[in-house]
């Protein structure tokens, strides 16, 4: 089962630079990954791993590790040294086929002359294991985000306490405009980045903006958690207020559905309040920098 997880996760990384129809096919000895279509290992050929997301697999040659078909049938007349896994579709093992590992397939036909050295099981066990893997991945992502927001929030409050207070004041006194501007920033920045990447001149700016979005959104989440804690506790202790808001937002983040909504609300509110606070600071600075008019002469 561990090999199955490695194959599926590895295939996701392989798919990043490839086209939608055909994922990756290498010469003999390499892996064969197909996103949509048929994977064929002809007689006399040898590959390391076969992964098909939507299509069929025909194995007449040699596979040194695992064959995984997520949606489609598979025919094996050659040799697979690892497992054969079909989550949806019929598996056919013909006479002379050799599977060195386990077979996971709900619908299967195994000829009397085929050899399966492992066990033959239903893919329900695979689904159960993948469900646990998904849950562990979700918790790991939640933990990484929560710790990042905690560290970022304590750093921002310690380094720029007045800026944090100004953003909270903007959220408290102009909540509606803060939410509106936050939503505009949340949606607008990715659109601007995508539009910039569509031109040769703007591509460096678009790429830089896309990379910066992670930090920008993290700052928004941090500010939203700070606002919540400050509204509940108040008082002079910024750290205690932030820790309370962070604990509430992070705790609700573990609840499916509600967690994503909470992070979205915190990010939008935080980005909007920061935008309003920056605009107010700019307006005050512009007014202070404006030259004073000379006094009117007597008798004018």
Tokens of 24: 């990756």
What's the distance, CA 298 to chain centroid?
Answer: 71
The secondary structure of 192-207 as a DSSP string is HHHHHHTSTTTHHHHH
Tokens of 273: 């309040």
Instruction: Provide the pLDDT for residue 131.
Output: 57
Distance CA 149, CA 265 (A): 15
Tokens of 201: 């001149």
Distance CA 108, CA 73 (A): 10
pTM of the model: 0.48
Statement: residue 67 has pLDDT above 50: yes
Instruction: Provide the pLDDT for residue 134.
Output: 64
What is the largest distance, in Å, between two alpha-carbon atoms of the chain? 118
Domain limits of the chain?
2-122, 136-286
- In the predicted model, what is the mean pLDDT of residues 221-234? 85
Tokens of 211: 């990379």
Q: What phi-psi label fits residue 240: left (phi over 0), alpha (psi between -120 and 50 degrees) or beta?
A: alpha
The pLDDT > 90 percentage for the chain reads 22
Statement: residue 11 has pLDDT above 80: no
Three-class secondary structure of residue 7 per DSSP: helix
Q: Report the chain's mean pLDDT, rounded to a whole number.
A: 79
- In the predicted model, what is the mean pLDDT of residues 246-266? 80
Cα angle, residue 61 at apex, residues 57 and 67 outer, rounded to 5°: 40
Q: Summarize pLDDT for 85-117 with one digit per residue, the tens.
A: 998 889 999 999 999 998 988 888 999 999 999
Q: Summarize pLDDT for 159-201 with one digit per residue, the tens.
A: 888 888 888 888 888 888 889 999 999 999 888 888 888 887 7
């Amino acid at each position: 089962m561990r090999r199955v997880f490695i194959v599926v996760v590895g295939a996701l990384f392989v798919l990043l630079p490839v086209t939608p129809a055909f994922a990756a096919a290498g010469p003999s000895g390499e892996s064969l990954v197909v996103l949509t279509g048929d994977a064929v290992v002809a007689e006399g050929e040898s590959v390391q791993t076969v992964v098909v997301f939507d299509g069929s697999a025909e194995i007449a040659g040699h596979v040194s590790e695992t064959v995984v078909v997520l949606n489609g049938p598979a025919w094996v007349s050659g040799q697979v040294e690892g497992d054969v896994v079909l989550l949806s579709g019929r598996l056919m093992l013909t006479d002379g086929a050799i599977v060195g590992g386990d077979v996971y397939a709900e619908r299967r036909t195994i000829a009397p002359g085929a050899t399966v050295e492992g066990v033959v099981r239903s893919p329900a066990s695979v689904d159960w294991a993948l469900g646990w893997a998904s849950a562990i991945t979700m918790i790991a992502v939640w933990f990484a985000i929560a710790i990042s927001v905690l560290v970022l929030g304590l750093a921002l409050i310690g380094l720029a306490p007045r800026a944090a207070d100004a953003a909270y004041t903007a959220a408290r006194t102009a909540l509606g405009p803060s939410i509106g501007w936050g939503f505009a920033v949340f949606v607008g920045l990715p659109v601007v980045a995508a539009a910039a990447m569509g031109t040769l001149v703007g591509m460096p700016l678009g790429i830089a903006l896309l990379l910066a979005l992670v930090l920008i959104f993290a700052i928004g989440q941090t500010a939203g958690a700070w606002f919540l804690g400050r509204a509940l506790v108040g008082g002079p202790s910024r750290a205690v207020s932030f820790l309370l808001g962070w604990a509430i937002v992070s705790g609700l983040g573990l609840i499916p559905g509600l967690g994503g909504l909470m992070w979205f609300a915190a990010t939008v509110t935080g980005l909007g309040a920061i935008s309003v606070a920056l605009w107010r600071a700019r307006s005050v600075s512009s007014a202070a920098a404006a030259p004073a008019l000379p006094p009117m002469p007597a008798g004018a």
